[in-house]
Structure 1
Amino acid sequence: MTRSVITTDNAPSLSAPLSQGIRKGPVLQISGQLPFDPYTGAVVGTTVAEQTAQVLRNVTAVLEAGGAGLEDVVMLRVYLTDPAHLPELNDAYATAVGEPFPARTTVYMQLPPGLLVEIDALAVLDD
């Protein structure tokens, strides 16, 4: 099985040693996405809700570049900077992702200043 790098101009490219996504067979892994506008590089939003919406737009853009959509996602991992942000995240997440919800893990960590949320995704396609 060949491993393919997935890239798109519709999601931010970081200057870190990582790919936006990797696909091997029916499995597509999306690297952690941050709330950056892919065209300007600016952080989008100052609230968890605004940043979550942008992060999920970025996740979706990489999924689409890999031939998938949110309906193919089996796992989302969410990284938050503050446990107090969980209710706001849940509301924005539910609106953007919709039911049936994929499996999810949420962890708390430190992100660079101004960044409140990061999300990565694992999708399985029906090749």
Structure 2
Amino acid sequence: MKRIINTTDAPAPIGPYSQAVLANGFLYVSGQIPINPATGELTMDSIKSETEQVMRNLNAVLLEAGFEFSDILKTTIFLSDMSLFAEVNDVYGSYFETDFPARETVAVKGLPKGVNVEISVVAYKG
């Protein structure tokens, strides 16, 4: 059985997808970009502020489903340019203490709304 997860504390989907889907203890969180859910505006002051907003959005979806960052098994980070990796990694790393999730980071030609970072996660609670 699957359950759709949605919260107003994260941006509404901009296409035909859900913020997250919970199935058999696994939470699949769609890629989050730096949209401030309160204003609907992009947070684009710096790559660090973009990443902070993405992580806040992920946190809101995780919390809505009853999960936390320590439950994350795997993340995928999409960047507009690999030169942003170190700054994104600094912000991203501050959300994890130990037992880091598996991860891949890839540079892509473009991201929704022209942002520089998008992150999706898979979490599990057994």
| Percent identity for Structure 1 against Structure 2 | 35
For 1:37 and 1:100, how far apart are their aligned partners in 2? 29
Contact 2:69 2:95 in 1 (8 A): no
Write the deviation string for residues 13-69 of structure 1: whole angstroms up to 9, x where unpaired.
Answer: 023000000001100000000000011111113211111111011011101111111
Write the deviation string for residues 53-90 of structure 1: whole angstroms up to 9, x where unpaired.
Answer: 11011011101111111010000100000011111111
- Residue 99 of structure 1: aligned partner: 98
The one-letter code sitting in structure 1 at the alignment partner of 2:35 is F
Give the Å deviation of 1:113.
5.2
Contact 2:26 2:125 in 1 (8 A): yes
What TM-score do you get using the length of structure 1 for normalisation?
0.92
Q: Which runs of 5+ in 1 are unaligned?
A: none
For 1:32 and 1:90, how far apart are their aligned partners in 2? 16
- Over 3 Å counting, the alpha-carbon distance change for 1:30 and 1:112 in structure 2 is closer
Contact 1:76 1:120 in 2 (8 A): yes
What TM-score do you get using the length of structure 2 for normalisation?
0.93
Contact 2:44 2:115 in 1 (8 A): no
- Residue 30 of structure 2: aligned partner: 31
Give the Å deviation of 1:94.
1.2
- Residue 117 of structure 2: aligned partner: 117
Give the Å deviation of 1:114.
4.3
Contact 1:27 1:123 in 2 (8 A): yes
- Residue 77 of structure 2: aligned partner: 78
For 1:93 and 1:100, how far apart are their aligned partners in 2? 14
For 1:10 and 1:104, how far apart are their aligned partners in 2? 25
* Larger mean Cα displacement after TM superposition, 74-83 or 42-51: 42-51
CA RMSD of aligned residues (A): 1.3
Q: Which runs of 5+ in 2 are unaligned?
A: none
